C-alpha cells in the first residue's frame, strides 16, 4: 500500500492555504462593506445636491445655503476618506492574494510529488505482480512438461 512520506507536510500546507483563503474572504467582505458605504454616501450626496438646488432657487436664508454647502463638503470629504480606505484594503487584498498564490504553489508542488511517487509505486507493483505471474506460469509450464 502506498504511503506518501510527506503527507503530514501536505496536510499542513493545505491548512495554511485554507487559513489564507479565510483571511482573504474577510478582506473581501471589508471591500464589499466599503463599497456599500461609498454607494450610500453617494446617494446621500445626490439627494442633498437636489435639496441644495431647490433651496438655492428659493434663496431665502443664506445660513441655510451655507449649511447645505458645508454638508456637501463633508459628504465629499467622507467619500474621499472612504475611497482612501478602499485603496488600502485593496492593497491588503493584493498582498493576501499573492500570499495565497504562493501557498497554492507550495501545496501543488507537494501534490505533484505525491502523484509522481504514487505513479512510480503503482508501476513498481505492476511489474512485481507481472513478474510473479510470469514465474507462476513458468512453474506451471515446467510441471506440465515433466
pLDDT band for position 126 (50/70/90)? Answer: very high
CA nearest neighbour of 134 among 123, 145, 142, 144: 142
Q: Who has greater pLDDT, 26 or 45?
A: 26
For the beta carbon of residue 23, count every other beta carbon within 10 angstroms.
Answer: 15
Instruction: Quote the mean pLDDT of the chain.
Output: 89
Arithmetic mean of pLDDT, 94-114 = 95
pLDDT band for position 141 (50/70/90)? Answer: confident
Residue 146 has pLDDT above 70, yes or no: no
The pLDDT of residue 80 is 92
Residue 112 has pLDDT above 80, yes or no: yes
Residue range 73-103, pLDDT digits in tens = 888 898 899 999 999 999 999 999 999 999 9
Amino acid at each position: 500500500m502506498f504511503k506518501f512520506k510527506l503527507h503530514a507536510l501536505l496536510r499542513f500546507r493545505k491548512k495554511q492555504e485554507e487559513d489564507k483563503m479565510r483571511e482573504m474572504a474577510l478582506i473581501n467582505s471589508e471591500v464589499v462593506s466599503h463599497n456599500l458605504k461609498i454607494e450610500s454616501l453617494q446617494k446621500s450626496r445626490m439627494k442633498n445636491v437636489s435639496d441644495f438646488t431647490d433651496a438655492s432657487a428659493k434663496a431665502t436664508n443664506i445660513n441655510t445655503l451655507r449649511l447645505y454647502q458645508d454638508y456637501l463638503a463633508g459628504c465629499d470629504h467622507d467619500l474621499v476618506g472612504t475611497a482612501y480606505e478602499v485603496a488600502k484594503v485593496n492593497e491588503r487584498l493584493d498582498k493576501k492574494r499573492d500570499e495565497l498564490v504562493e501557498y497554492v504553489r507550495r501545496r501543488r508542488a507537494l501534490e505533484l510529488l505525491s502523484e509522481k511517487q504514487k505513479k512510480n509505486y503503482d508501476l513498481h507493483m505492476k511489474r512485481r505482480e507481472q513478474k510473479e505471474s510470469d514465474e507462476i506460469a513458468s512453474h506451471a509450464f515446467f510441471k506440465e512438461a515433466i
